Amino acid sequence: MSKENDAEPKIVNRRAWLKLFGAGAASGVLPLGSAAAEDSAVAGHHATHAPAVPVDEQVPVYEFLNGDEAAFVEAAVDTLIPADDVGPGALELGVAVFIDRQLNSGYGRGDRMYLQGPFMEGTPEQGYQLRMTPSELFRNGILDVNAYLRAKYKRPFDALTNEDRIAVMTQLETGQIELPTVPTAIFFNLLYDLTMQGFFADPLYGGNKGKASWKMIGFPGIGAMYADKIEAWRNKKYMTEPMSIQDLL
Amino acid sequence: MATKLKPVDIAIVGLGWAGGILAKELASTGLKIVAFERGGPRATNPDFMAPQVHDELRYSRRHELIQNLRKETLTFRNDPSQRALPMRQLGSFLPGEGVGGAGTHWSGLHWRWTEWEHKMYSGTVAKYGKSIIPADMNLQDFPVDYHELEPYYDKFEKVCGTSGKAGNLQGKKIEGGNIFEAPRASEFPNPPLTQSHNMVLFEKAARNLGYHPFPVPASNASRPYTNPDGVALGQCHYCGMCTAYGCEANAKASPHFTVIPLAYKNPNFEARTNAYVMKVNLDSRRKRAVSVTYLDAGGREFEQPADLVILAAYVFGNVHLMLHSKIGKPYDFKRNTGVVGRNYSYQSMGGVGALFPKGTYFNPFMGSGALGTWIDDFNSDNPDFAKVGFIGGGGISSGSNSGAPIARHPVPPGSPRWGAGWKKAVVETYHRMTAVGNQGSVMSYRQNYLDLDPTYTDSFGRPMLRLTFDWQENEFRQMEYARGICASIAKEMGAEQVLSRRERGRYSIVPYQTTHNTGGTVFGDDPRTSAVNKYLQCWDVSNVFVVGSSVFPQNAGRNPTGPVGALAYRLADTLKDQYLKRPERLVTV
């Protein structure tokens, strides 16, 4: 941890989030970075379908996460996939909203997991052996991380500087922080997987707003038929305005 | 207390490819047939309609079409000294659920196994002597050879509209097809699918190295097709969403729209969905099945009397029902005796990643489940086992299956897993990464088996099935040998960087590998080493038959669906031509 932590906590709060979010989506064009912004098809598509300033864009309403948890998730996804010149970040694409909804879904509540006991510790090859659903695990993991950070640095994860958030996330990834309730690796991997899923999934689920991650990597979305293209486009860059499920309904 | 129902003639457990084929083929008998499917009904419309079916999160990550572990799962351990623990989340393999079973969400690789792959024991001994077989390897033959199954392989390909190119037509070798395949009576019903860029590079590289590339036989129709049953298949869109998904175009052959609707046309056929078969009930002498007990969606218990019971569930379901119903002697690994649960096997998925120079575009999102170019030069019995130090082989290939980005956003090794550096690496890598894969055979071993777990029960209160499995030296050697070949092909293709992991870790149930589980109710000529005879009839209980890859004595280096379908068609003929005329033991020993 760097010494700046002793200074006043830098709070990346929901106002900042809104500012970031509003800067892009509210104007109808996502802050995609220079390469994507020059794509006239992208701008054109949005310009024709979205009002210049949608009045109904609001603060995301979380179904599952409480205020502390929401602040953690927003800061965490922003750390895992930050916005930069290469492309959009997870926060502005709605990944925190995605995670919230997933945790509140059948998946989050473990509806297809075997959750009967007895619960015993196994080998890594035997996989997940805890009694917690993904939602319970996630909630306990946040409590664990923030309790650790409050004890050590007197502030929760979302109140750390960007540099320190990266340092803490690295310590979680490499298991240098031992959490009391939830095994660190299991919590980190759940947070990581959900962040990646929210970033790359169909926008139907609340993340990947504007299909911006698809545009960033050059994935043309779904619904395309390539029977007459697979040969013609061999070793050529193929890119169209990506289509999502809602675009095609 | 179970409600006892009016007797029927035939009960079929499981309505995937095997159960679906039998349900359709047995219609001509005029007998009353009931099929039980643990999952719900499925039809292309409304279940697999676009655009909703193109949902990577729902199907590929949340496993909409896969077995619900909350209801039943299995326990797992690597070796018999460990305590097995439940598979609480899906990972290594994805058994299907619902009408059509895994046939709705398979990729479509549709193989005939080679002559040696039906006779792995005798074929190996003839060439190398018995001493080449490790002491713990339970190597066994199919009790039928390729030539006996050929008409059924042929029939199944025509039903599925398989796209491919023959390499051995009635003994005549044909360049461009698989010259190592066993002789086939006829050409594939459809021409090969169109190759992607990486496949073109693979084909050229393989030829340069002296190998014999050919298009993977794909039950993804390369053109509109009507099968001999009059069922129409659409042309594949190359949408790259086959594996784990249903197909809205009916281009990927699946039992839910081919054989099963034809079974429904039979007024004597009924399918009961959301029906979990708990047990096959035997008479007091334990020589005859009298009924099956099942639960409906509401948990109500029914007893369905039947004269003939066909187990056509997934591998684990067949073995579990046999053990739980006490049909056949359970396998005892300590003494290597007993048969039910014996010879469980799997498959290895390895190979190398291949990163190409900037400016290369593989367009991975243009693909199809079985779209690939393959070589068999190191598969089947083509390697010299004495020289390479292992028995078996692997199919080596490059394909274009899916570019859906939750699962596929590769970065070169050494890249960060997250943060700004990760994002940069993803963007730079997405289009120029491909793979050369090895699909390795896995032999069966004394210490790899299935039995009942002493501790854990499923949601119905039955002891769970317990899986004991680990990789063995023979398989590590195959994987390592094949990895070297894969790397040399990737280099020849022009890869800038060949990405390879050299690990000899234990088998893990956590990451997805392949849904090619085999064994546990092996068929054979010797009742001491097989659970069912060559006609797939239980040795001890002559009115119970078992079909599916649970009857394979070990696993080849290619997908199992072809022989599963062929064996189901053959079983239908066995029942119609022999058993139903004289319902008794078809083999005496």
Report pLDDT for A25. 33
- The Cα–Cα gap between B220 and B190 comes to 10
Whether B516 is a known active-site residue: answer: yes
CA-nearest residue to B66 within chain A is A112
The Cα–Cα gap between A189 and A197 comes to 12
Residue A205 belongs to some domain of the structure = yes
The confidence band for A37, taking pLDDT boundaries of 50, 70 and 90, is very low
Q: Note the pLDDT tens digit of each residue in B414-460.
A: 999 999 999 999 999 999 999 999 999 999 999 999 999 999 999 99
| Amino acid occupying residue B59 | Y
Q: Which two tokens stand for residue A131?
A: 């009694």
Contact between chains at B57 and A202 (C-beta distance less than 8 A): yes
3-state secondary structure of A34: helix
Q: Is the pTM of this model over 0.90?
A: yes
Beta-carbon contacts below 8 Å between A and B = 191
Where exactly are the structural domains of chain B?
A: 3-579
Let me know if residue A226 belongs to a domain. no
- Chain-wide mean pLDDT for chain B? 97
Asked whether the beta carbons of residue A112 and residue B50 sit closer than 8 angstroms, the reply is no
**Alpha carbons A168 and A76: distance in angstroms, whole number:** 10
Determine the 3-state secondary structure of A115 from DSSP: coil
To test the contact with chain A by mutation, choose from B52, B406, B508 the residue with the greatest count of A C-beta atoms within 10 A, namely B406
Residues A24-52, mean pLDDT to the nearest whole number: 33
3-state secondary structure labels for all residues of B471-515: CCHHHHHHHHHHHHHHHHHHHHHCCCEEECCCCCCCCCCCCCCCC
Domain holding A45, by residue range, is 3-220
Q: Of A115, A216, A226, which is closest to B239 when you measure between CB atoms? A: A226
Q: Which fold is adopted by the domain B3-579?
A: FAD/NAD(P)-binding domain (3.50.50)
Cβ distance of A112 and B68 shorter than 8 Å: yes
Query: Strand, coil or helix: what is B207?
Result: helix
**B63, B256, B320, B516: the active-site residue:** B516
Position B501 scores a pLDDT of 80
Quick one: CA dihedral A82, A87, A90, A93, positive or negative? positive
Domain membership of residue A215 (yes or no) is yes
Render pLDDT for A55-111 as a digit per residue (tens, 0 to 9): 455 678 899 999 999 999 999 999 999 999 999 999 999 999 999 999 999 999 999
pLDDT tens column, B79-103 = 999 999 999 999 999 999 999 999 9
Rounded to a whole number of angstroms, the distance from the CA of A198 to the nearest CA of chain B is 9
Task: Select from B78, B196, B417 the Cβ nearest to the Cβ of A125.
Answer: B78
ipTM value = 0.96
User: Strand B394-399 relative to strand B225-226: parallel, antiparallel, unpaired?
Assistant: unpaired
Q: Is A239 exposed, middle or buried (0-12, 13-18, 19+ CB in 10 A)?
A: middle
Give the H/E segment covering residue A79: helix A67-80
> How distant is the Cα of B249 from the closest Cα of chain A, in angstroms?
11
Amino acid at B588: T
Average pLDDT score, chain A = 83
Which residues are CB-neighbours of A223 under 8 A, at least 6 positions away? A243, A247, A248, B50, B51, B54, B239
Please answer yes or no on whether B55 and A231 come within 8 Å at the CB atom: no
Beta bridge partners, B307, equal none
A184 closest CA partner among A164, A166, A170, A196: A170
User: Looking at residues B218-224, what average pLDDT do you find?
Assistant: 98
Our CA-based measurement puts residue A33 at a distance from the nearest CA of chain B, in whole angstroms, of 12
State the DSSP code for A221: B
Residue A204 lies inside a defined structural domain of this protein: yes
How much is the average pLDDT of A31-49? 32
Pick from B76, B88, B198 the residue to mutate for testing the A interface (most A CBs within 10 Å): B88
Residue A32: its chain B contacts at CB < 8 A? none
> Do the chains contact at B457 and A112, CB–CB below 8 Å?
no
Residue A215 tokens read as 């545009």
8 Å CB contact of A114 and B73: yes
The verdict on residue A245 lying in a domain is no
Residue A230 has pLDDT above 70, yes or no: yes
Does residue A59 fall inside a structural domain?
yes
Count of domains in chain A?
A: 1
pLDDT tens-digit map of A66-79: 999 999 999 999 99
